[in-house]
Amino acid sequence: MMITVSRKAHFNAAHRLFRSDWSDDKNEAVFGKCNNPNFHGHNYELIVSVTGNIDPETGFVIDMKVLKDLIKSNIENAFDHKNLNKEVAEFKELNPTAENIAVVIWNKLRPHIDDSKKLEVTLYETPRNFVSYRGA
């Protein structure tokens, strides 16, 4: 019996969307206000979902305390109150769009989730703008 369990988390971070190989005009045209050279911030909401079979011994798909701790140690500690462009290694050369942030989060968590289980990351950049990633 496959079932999905989810854990919600939160982090605040600043970023700037831009490409150094583009002109200022092109960056402004494509990224608009998100291209502010002084950066801007978001209150990100994160939902991490794990789908799998219920363990007959524990009754869990995954222990929610384990999932909570994985999110805290791998995501919140790495991203919360950080400038993603300047302080998070994964974004030194990668534009920190919501899409790219979700993929990075998935990649950071995937090694810690049993391969028999599916992982999905949903990231809300604003209450109305969000992305989901389930892996390649």
Q: What angle do CA 70, 76, 82 make, to 5 degrees?
A: 150
Tokens of 19: 């490409």
Looking at residue 36, its amino acid is N
Residue range 101-116: mean pLDDT, rounded = 97
Return the pLDDT at 52: 98
Q: In what order do the strands lie in the sheet with 118-124?
A: 82-83, 2-15, 40-53, 118-124, 130-133
Return the pLDDT at 1: 79
Return the pLDDT at 133: 98
Question: Which of the four pLDDT bands, split at 50, 70 and 90, describes residue 106?
Answer: very high
What is the 8-class DSSP label of residue 117? S
Return the pLDDT at 87: 97
Return the pLDDT at 136: 77
- Catalytic machinery residues: 34, 81, 125
Q: How crowded is residue 13: how many other Cβ atoms within 10 Å of its Cβ?
A: 23
What is the 8-class DSSP label of residue 54? P
Return the pLDDT at 91: 97
Contact (Cβ atoms closer than 8 angstroms) between residue 61 and residue 52: yes
- What are the two backbone dihedrals, phi and then psi, of residue 50, each rounded to the nearest 5 degrees? -120, 125
For residue range 56-90, list pLDDT tens digits in order: 999 999 999 999 999 999 999 999 999 999 999 99
Q: How crowded is residue 21: how many other Cβ atoms within 10 Å of its Cβ?
A: 7
Looking at residue 95, its amino acid is N
Residue range 106-130: mean pLDDT, rounded = 97
